[in-house]
Amino acid sequence: MDNQFYAYLSRMKYISRWSLMHNSSNETLSEHTLQVAILTHALCVIARRRFGRQVDTAKAVLCALYHDAPEIITGDLPTPVKYYNPAIRDAYREIERTAAEKLLSMLPQDLEDEYRASFFCEDREVLDLVKAADKLGALIKCLEEERMGNREFVRAREATEQALREMDLPEVKVFMKEFLPAYTLTLDELE
């Protein structure tokens, strides 16, 4: 049966992330994807308003929406496994590419081209912002888990903070300074 693309996307809610870690709160691929899209939008707004960069916000947010869509087929491979060595990393990239092609093939041809650019973004500026948003999402997850008393995420937080610093993106620095501290607050502490 053709045209299963949207039905497959709706299954993001069944893919759990952080599978090798004890979680206080489960995070699904759906939740992660929404957060990365929101964070990508935030980084684009900061880039434009604070640094005068001409970022294609719509393209960036669309790329964020589909950045992990292949995981509907592959599942979420934990980072320590995915990046264990270059051979595994490269093989997994090819698996993700094949899964993305499979998803795109579930669309009618006249719609497929509209989605291809979001699945296979080649704009370096956009890719950098989506990757940074993805890392910020991971950092937020770590902060939330630590706030719940879960020390399982301490090393992941430290590694993610280091990765974000190494990206050296001014938008990320602004977000981390101005917006990230609020993620450590309880509901009662948020005004």
CA distance 2 to 69: 18
Q: How far apart are CA 164 and CA 43, in angstroms?
A: 13
Distance CA 79, CA 25 (A): 19
- Residues 116-132, mean pLDDT to the nearest whole number: 96
CB atoms within 10 A of CB 32: 23
Residue 35 to residue 39: CA distance in whole angstroms: 6
| pTM score of the predicted model | 0.92
pLDDT at 119 over 90: yes
Residue pair 59/121 in contact (Cβ under 8 Å)? The answer is yes
Residue 13 binned pLDDT confidence (cut-offs 50, 70, 90): very high
Residue 121's pLDDT band, with cuts at 50, 70 and 90, is very high
- Residue 1, pLDDT > 70, answer no
pLDDT at 15: 93
